[in-house]
A = this chain, B = another copy of it.
Amino acid sequence: MSMSSDPAPHDVHAFSDSEREAVYRAIHSRRDVRSQFLPKPVPVDVLSRILHAAHHAPSVGFMQPWNFIIVESPETKRRVHEAFERANREAAEKFAGDRQELYRSLKLEGILEAPIGICVTCDRGRTGPVVLGRTHMPTMDLYSSVCAVQNLWLAARAEGLGMGWVSIFSPEVLQQALAIPEHITLIGYFCLGYVSAFKAKPDLETVGWLPRAPLEELVYFDHWGQSDAAHPLTGHLRERDEVLG
């Protein structure tokens, strides 16, 4: 077995305890923010740092397929918000009874309140038709842009900025609102700004939409479906589940 439950000697490439805790703090206190945006301006040096964090995401074949559209104008935000409203009416109809009532009570975006909108895209043809690492898994370029999104989100959290992913749009309607050409793939639209609070838990967990899954049930060993209660990792996963809540 390649794992040990003995404490490891501190690895030379590991961060210090306080640095490591800062990374985990960003990961665990990041929220999908929809309701707490403040009008406080976002300084350009902060925005530059978080965009560079996104740009330093991994990308398949180093193709860096992303673009970032910074939305500040009220008219553009209004067009984006209209696209959301239209899609949200359609989406609500998919749920029945109490579930639809709960859905309609949720605030799912902060498009007009957030000082900045950011649209992230993927240019699948950027470096030509053949991309190192994409031949057998053609969605790898889309996934590269998503890695950029997660870097952006964590960097924003460290800067004290909330970010929310709005996915309730017909992609075509949003692409039109932002003049994105057809050959470019929309990845997501994000609301960004300082916030009055970061909630302790995801909103959907708090309102009882779905519970947090126990991680130990999602981890298999060697092949799909194989749990191992005797593996030392399983106990560690359970303990940390209890700590993190």
- Residues of chain A touching chain B, judged by Cβ–Cβ distance below 8 Å, are 1-8, 11-15, 18-20, 22-28, 30, 32, 39-49, 51-53, 55-58, 60-64, 66-73, 76, 87, 90-91, 94-95, 103, 106, 108, 115-116, 121, 127, 130, 132-137, 139-140, 142-143, 146-147, 149-151, 153-155, 157-162, 165, 167-171, 178-181, 184, 187-188, 194-195, 197-198, 202, 204-205, 209-210, 212-213, 215, 218-225, 232-233, 236-237, 239-241, 244
Do B143 and A14 have beta carbons less than 8 Å apart?
A: no
Q: Which residue from chain B places its CB closest to the CB of A134 in the assembled complex?
A: B167
Majority secondary structure of chain A interface residues (helix, strand, loop or mixed): mixed
Tell me the nearest residue of chain B to A207, going by C-beta: B62
Contacts of A6 in B (CB 8 A): 43
Please list the 6 inter-chain residue pairs (A to B) with the smallest Cβ-Cβ separation, ordered nearest first.
A14-B160, A11-B160, A19-B22, A2-B115, A48-B236, A22-B22
Q: Is the CB of A218 within 8 A of B64?
A: yes
Question: When the two chains form their complex, are residues B2 and A56 in contact, meaning their CB atoms are under 8 A apart?
Answer: no
Whether B62 pairs with A202 at a CB distance below 8 angstroms is yes
